[in-house]
Structure 1
Amino acid sequence: MSGTFTLPLESEQLMLRIQDFKIINSDQIHTIQEPVLILIAGDASDRKFFRLINKEISAICMQFPKWEGGYGGDPISWIGMHNALSKMELPVPKIIEIDETNSCIWTEDLGDIFLTSIINDEILDIDDHKCNQAINYYKQALDLLIKAQYPQVKIDHPAINRFFDYEKLYYEMNFFITHFLNGFLNLNVSEENLEYINLYQDLKLLCKKLDSCERVLCHRDYHVRNIMLKDKDLYWIDFQDARMGPHAYDVVSLVRDSYVQITWKTRKHLYDYYIEKLNKIREKNNLNNISSISFNLELLLMGLQRNIKAIGSFGYLATKKNKPNYLRYVRQTLSILCSKEAQIHEETDIKAMLPNLFKLLYDLYNGSLEEILNEKIKNFK
C-alpha cells in the first residue's frame, strides 16, 4: 500500500541503502573496519534497528517488515506523523533518507541515552536530591505533551480522526483478557462465563467514563524508553500510533510507567506541575480551567486503564512474540494498581465504583491468583 509524504527541508538525500553495508552484532565491532551497520536492541515492535558506523555520517536505519500504509506501526504512518510533529515543532529525529525498496527509514542518530538512563537510583523520589535532574527532565517531558496538545500551529495531522473512544479503550481491556488472563494464565475469562459478567460490566463502565473526557493529541506510548536525551534536549521516538484521547493518557503513561518505580508523592508533584501548566495554556486559548478534582479522577481512571493494558501487552509479548523479559514488570505494575493512592479521590471511591475489577487485581497481586501468576512467570519459556 503506497502513500504520499514530503521530506522535511533539512533532510539530505544521500542514497543510503542497507545492502551496501555489512551487518554485524555489537560484539563484533572491534574486528570489522567501518563502515558497517550494527544491529542494535529495538523495541517491542517487529522493526529492526541498525546503527551506521561511518566517519562521514552517523545514522540509524529503521527497517520495517514491509513498505505499507495503514495506521500504526507501518512506515507511511511513521513518516506522516513525523511530518506533523515537525511542523508542530516537537523534537523528533531528522529524516536523512527514505528507501522504499528495502522498507527502510534512515534518521539522525540520537545516541543511547533514554530518559530511563538518567534515573540513577532505583526509585524516583522528590525527597531525594539525587533525583532532581531526572525529575526536571520529567517536567520537560510534560511540557512537551502540553505543546503537542495545544500546538501554536493547527495542522491536519494523521491522528486527527483517530480516537481513544469507547471502542478503542474497550478493545484494549479485551486485549488484557485475551493475552494475559487467558493467553498467559490460561484462565477461562469470557462474557459467556457467568463468573465474569460483573468484571466485564466494570471494564465497560471504566471505558465509558474515559470516553466522556475531552480529547487532545496523544503520543500513545509515552514512557521512559520512548523519550531520548541528546545534548541535554529531549526527543520523541515511536510516535507513529498517535491519536486523540484524554489529557491524562500520556501523563499517566509517563508518571505511572511500569518500567520505573516512582513514589506517590513524586507522582503528585508531577501531576500538580502538569495541571498548573495545562490551565495556563488553556487560559491563553480562552478555555475554561480544568479543576484539580475532575482531573485527579481522570488521572486515576486513565492510570487504571493504561496499567491494565500494559499487563496485557506483557502477556502478548511473552506468548506471541517470544519476549518473556517483559514479564518482570507485571508485579511492579500490579503494585501500582493495588496501591491505596491509585484509588483515593476527593469525591469518588474508585474501588467501590469498580469492585469486580479491583477484586481481580488484588487476586493477582496477593490473593487467590498470586501463586499461579508467580509460578507462570518463574517457569515461562
Structure 2
Amino acid sequence: MQRLNVLKTWLATRFPQTDIQVEFAAADADFRRYFRAIFPDGTSRIVMDAPPEKMNTDAYVHAREVFAMVHVPAILDRDREQGLMLLEDLGKVTFLAALEHDTRREVHKMLLLEAIDTLIEIQSGSREGVLPPYDEALLARELNLFPEWFCDKEIGKPLNFAQRKVWGEMSRVLLDAALAQPKVYVHRDYIVRNLMLTAGKPGVLDFQDAVYGPIAYDLVSLLRDAFIEWDEAFVLDLVIRYWEKARAAGLPVPDSIDDFYRAFEWMGVQRHLKVAGIFARLYHRDGKEKYRPEIPRFIKYLKRTTRRYGELAPLYGLLVELVGKDETDAELQSSYPVLGFKG
C-alpha cells in the first residue's frame, strides 16, 4: 500500500489537477509490479513500480534501447530514485490469453509465426559487446538452481555422492553444448506471456534480463512454454520454419536442421532445469504459489528430451531416481524418420 501511495503521488506531481484512475495490471516473478493509469480522455499508460532498494531499472532502459527495432513500450517518464517509470500501454491481451481464447491449431501457428518473425528481427540486430554475455558462469548458476531448490527444497531429496557426480558430468555436457552455439541477442524470457497482441507487430515485454548468448535459447523459451503446451510434431514444424527464416535472414544457424534441432533440444534441457529450480525457489523462498503447479510440465519436458539422446541418458536416469516413473516414461519415444533423430 505504501508503494502504491508513492506511485499515485508521483503521478499527481507529473499530471497536476488530473483525475487519474489507477488499477493493478500485472506483477512479475521478481519485485516489479505494473499499474494502469487511466486518464480522463480514456487513454492509458502503464506505471512500472520497481522498489529501488530491491531493483535497478537501468538494465531495463538499456535493453529497451537495444530492442528498439521491435515494438517495445516507449519510456514516457522515469524517476530513477523512486523506482518508477511511465510506459506506453500495449494493451491487455497477451499472446497467452489469445492462444487460450482461440484453440484452433491454425490460429496458434499464425501467432507463433508472428512471434518467430519478431524474434528473428531482434536476433538480426545482434552485436557483441552491447549486452552482458550469457557466459559459462551465468549458465552454471542457472543450472545449479535445480539441485539447490528443486531437489533439496521441492522434493526433499538432496543429491547423494553418486548423484552429484552424474550431475557434474551432465552439467559439463550441457554447458559445452550451450557455449558452442552461435551467439545473438537473447531476450531470456521470450514466452507468450511476455508478448502482446497489438494492432501492428507483437509487443515485447519483460526484456530487462537480455544477454548475448546461444541462438536457440529464445526459440525454446517460446515453444516449450510454462503455461501452454503443444505436441511434438507441432513444435518440430515451427522449429523448421524458424530455421528456414533464420537462414534466409543470414543468421548463424547450422546448415543442417538435424544439428539445429539437437541444439534446440539440448538448450531446452538447460532452461527446463533452471525454470524448475526458479519456480521451486519462488514458492519456498518467496511464498509465490502461482508458478509451482507448472513444475511437473518441465520435468516432463526434461524426461522426453533426455531419453531421446544417448549422451543425456545419465541425466534421464537421475530424473527417474528423483521423481520416479510416470505416464511420460510409458509413452512411445517420438521418432523423426525424415530427420533421423535417434535416442
**So what's the TM-score if we normalise by structure 1?**
0.76
Instruction: Assess if the C-alpha contact under 8 Å between 2:306 and 2:316 holds in 1.
Output: no
Instruction: Assess if the C-alpha contact under 8 Å between 1:177 and 1:189 holds in 2.
Output: yes
Match of 2:334 in 1: none
Mapping of 1:4-153 within 5 angstroms?
Answer: 18-20=8-10, 34-56=19-41, 57-66=43-52, 74-86=56-68, 89-120=69-100, 130-151=104-125
- In the TM superposition, residue 109 of structure 1 has moved relative to its aligned partner by 1.2
SS of aligned partner of 1:338:
helix
C-alpha RMSD over aligned residues: 2.7
Match of 1:163 in 2: 133
Q: Which runs of 5+ in 2 are unaligned?
A: 1-5, 13-17, 329-343
- Partners of 2:220 and 2:7 lie apart in 1 by 39
Match of 1:361 in 2: 319
The one-letter amino acid of 2:108's match is A
- In the TM superposition, residue 241 of structure 1 has moved relative to its aligned partner by 0.8
Instruction: Assess if the C-alpha contact under 8 Å between 2:243 and 2:253 holds in 1.
Output: no
Q: Which runs of 5+ in 1 are unaligned?
A: 1-15, 23-32, 125-129, 371-381
Matched, 1:299 2:264: yes
Instruction: Assess if the C-alpha contact under 8 Å between 1:210 and 1:246 holds in 2.
Output: yes
Could you give the per-residue CA deviations for residues 307-360 of structure 1, whole angstroms, max 9, x where no partner exists?
A: 111111110110111112211101122222222xx358xxxx62x212231112
Match of 2:294 in 1: 329
- Partners of 1:96 and 1:120 lie apart in 2 by 31
The one-letter amino acid of 1:19's match is T
Instruction: Assess if the C-alpha contact under 8 Å between 2:215 and 2:253 holds in 1.
Output: no
Instruction: Assess if the C-alpha contact under 8 Å between 1:17 and 1:99 holds in 2.
Output: no
- Partners of 1:288 and 1:268 lie apart in 2 by 16
Change (3 A) 1:20 1:169: closer
- Partners of 1:334 and 1:121 lie apart in 2 by 26
- Partners of 2:253 and 2:188 lie apart in 1 by 25
- Partners of 1:312 and 1:207 lie apart in 2 by 17
- In the TM superposition, residue 202 of structure 1 has moved relative to its aligned partner by 1.0
The one-letter amino acid of 1:273's match is R
- Partners of 1:288 and 1:135 lie apart in 2 by 22
Segments of 4+ in structure 1 off by > 6 A?
A: 154-157
Instruction: Assess if the C-alpha contact under 8 Å between 1:221 and 1:250 holds in 2.
Output: yes
| Number of residues of Structure 1 aligned to a counterpart in Structure 2 | 316
**So what's the TM-score if we normalise by structure 2?**
0.84
Change (3 A) 1:113 1:365: farther
The one-letter amino acid of 1:114's match is T
Instruction: Assess if the C-alpha contact under 8 Å between 1:37 and 1:53 holds in 2.
Output: yes
Could you give the per-residue CA deviations for residues 116-162 of structure 1, whole angstroms, max 9, x where no partner exists?
A: 0111379x6xxxxx2212211111111111111112xx768741xx2
- In the TM superposition, residue 171 of structure 1 has moved relative to its aligned partner by 1.3
Instruction: Assess if the C-alpha contact under 8 Å between 2:226 and 2:294 holds in 1.
Output: yes
Matched, 1:202 2:167: no
Could you give the per-residue CA deviations for residues 274-307 of structure 1, whole angstroms, max 9, x where no partner exists?
A: 000011111xx7x686311211110110011111
Change (3 A) 1:366 1:216: same
Match of 1:221 in 2: 189
Change (3 A) 1:155 1:269: closer
Match of 2:153 in 1: 183
Mapping of 1:170-319 within 5 angstroms?
Answer: 170-189=140-159, 193-231=161-199, 233-282=201-250, 290-319=255-284
- Partners of 2:150 and 2:7 lie apart in 1 by 40
Could you give the per-residue CA deviations for residues 10-66 of structure 1, whole angstroms, max 9, x where no partner exists?
A: xxxxxx9631569xxxxxxxxxx9522212331211012111022244101001110
Percent identity, please. Answer: 25
Instruction: Assess if the C-alpha contact under 8 Å between 1:300 and 1:343 holds in 2.
Output: no
Change (3 A) 1:197 1:277: same
Instruction: Assess if the C-alpha contact under 8 Å between 1:331 and 1:365 holds in 2.
Output: no
Change (3 A) 1:288 1:101: closer
The one-letter amino acid of 1:164's match is Y
Match of 1:377 in 2: none
The one-letter amino acid of 1:147's match is E
- In the TM superposition, residue 183 of structure 1 has moved relative to its aligned partner by 2.6
- In the TM superposition, residue 77 of structure 1 has moved relative to its aligned partner by 0.7
Could you give the per-residue CA deviations for residues 255-288 of structure 1, whole angstroms, max 9, x where no partner exists?
A: 0112111111110111010000011111xx7x68
